[in-house]
Amino acid sequence: MGCAWDGPAPDPRAAESFAGPWCGTRYHRVRRVSGPLLLSACAIATSITLLACGSQASALPRPPAGLQAVVEPGAQSTAVADWPATGPSLGSGGPSLDMMVTKSMLYAAAVRHGLNPYLVMGLAWHESGWNPNAVSSAGAIGIMQVMPATASVDGPELLHRTVNLYDPADNIDMGAAILRNNLDHWNGDLAKALTAYYAGGRAVTDWADLREDCRRYVWAVYDDAVMFRDGRGPA
């Protein structure tokens, strides 16, 4: 019995890991005891376990500030060697052409909106695994998992046009624009920007008061961005 976990386990290869928001419970063999006493003992053990798990989850730290989210105009040209390669891979063991095309679109959208390409790639990977046909149970669509109602408002407002979320390029452009708008609104605070992307602006608060699912989401996207930055991504 452990704390509930509603997302994927962190990549054990991640360069910057964290104490995950779950904890296990060891099982010990016990002697046979009477029914009421056994129930009381189980209830006490369960309470202790939940308290321990809760205290561990609440200790989830804020992600480090080393991942630059916003890239000023012109910065790409001065550090081009640091950005991901987006050319086609001809090796038989390399990523598929579809993956490389998606990577190129994510890179282009990041540059267009002044974002760190690794951050955009990590966000898209956590949201959909770069699957353009992904549709969530809530109705979020595509690679960046954008809600149609959000796109109907933010498309004209942020991109000055309507968008087709079923078109991968439009979907990525919309998601990147939303992320950049969030970063601008919350003064470059990555945790708040990602929280707004995940749960809306009303969920945004200081890290100490942030919901646990929001904290896990921020960490998951951060870890995926680091994965791509360190060359351990799928493409």
List residues with catalytic annotation. 127
Residue 64 contacts by C-beta under 8 Å, 6 or more apart in sequence? 16
Residues forming a β-bridge with 146:
141
CA distance linking residue 51 with residue 17, whole number of Å: 23
In sequence order, what DSSP letters do the residues of the chain get, joined into one string?
A: ------SPPPPTT-SS----S-------------HHHHHHHHHHHHHHHHHHHHHHHHTPPPPPS-S--B--TTHHHHTGGGSPP-S---STTS--HHHHHHHHHHHHHHHHTTB-HHHHHHHHHHHHTT-TT-B-TT--BTTTTB-HHHHHHHIIIIISS---TTSHHHHHHHHHHHHHHHHHHTTT-HHHHHHHHHH-GGG---GGGS-HHHHHHHHHHHHHHHHHHTT-S--
Distances (CA, A) of 215 to 57, 121, 163: 10, 19, 30
